[in-house]
Amino acid sequence: MPRFHSPTDEAIGARLRTYRQAARLSQSDVGKHLGVTFQQIQKYENGKNRLSGSRLVEVSRLLKVEPGVILGTNGAAGGTNEHFDALTDRNVVKMVIALKGLPKPRRTAVAIAVLELIRAFGAKA
């Protein structure tokens, strides 16, 4: 019987991937910390395997976030956060990491310019 993975498992995995990338850790780094292979981390991130409670706590410590952040239960209604959804996009994460690498005055100027560009495409921001 094929294993079923739910949209919830996929969302948890996407958040795990986002916070791992933001911490600049590889799947191998996380795997070594948890005592599993990088392939297992891939399965967690793709939602093919579920993250156990103990592994969730351990990876949260490594990534320096509360477990609820990875679960998506960090105070948002229904366990989702519409503002977080964009951070599951790898290119958005890359943009945030790139912004973080700029000196604060330049980061602010770039963020304002990007926001203006997003508004030009019709987004309400």
Same domain for 75 and 94, yes or no, is no
pLDDT exceeds cutoff 50 at 79: no
Residue 54 to residue 89: CA distance in whole angstroms: 26
Q: Which domain holds residue 59?
A: 1-81
Tokens of 36: 């599993």
Do residue 61 and residue 114 come from a single domain?
no
The Cα 85–Cα 63 span in angstroms is 19
Q: Please tell me whether residues 117 and 62 are part of one structural domain.
A: no
User: Which pLDDT value is given to residue 75?
Assistant: 45
Residues 73, 94 share a domain: no
Phi, psi (degrees; rounded to nearest 5) at 4: -105, 130
Q: How far is CA 1 from CA 4, 6, 109, in A?
A: 9, 16, 54
Instruction: Please name the residue ranges forming H helices in 4-47.
Output: 7-22, 27-34, 38-46
**Number of structural domains, the chain?**
2
Between the alpha carbon of residue 70 and those of residues 62, 85, 107, the distances in Å are 12, 12, 27
Report pTM. 0.67
Same domain, 57 and 1: yes
Identify whether residues 54 and 113 lie together within a single domain: no
pLDDT digits (tens, 9 = 90+) for 24-59: 899 999 999 999 999 999 999 999 999 999 999 999
The CATH number for 9's domain is 1.10.260.40
Q: Do 96 and 125 fall within a single domain?
A: yes
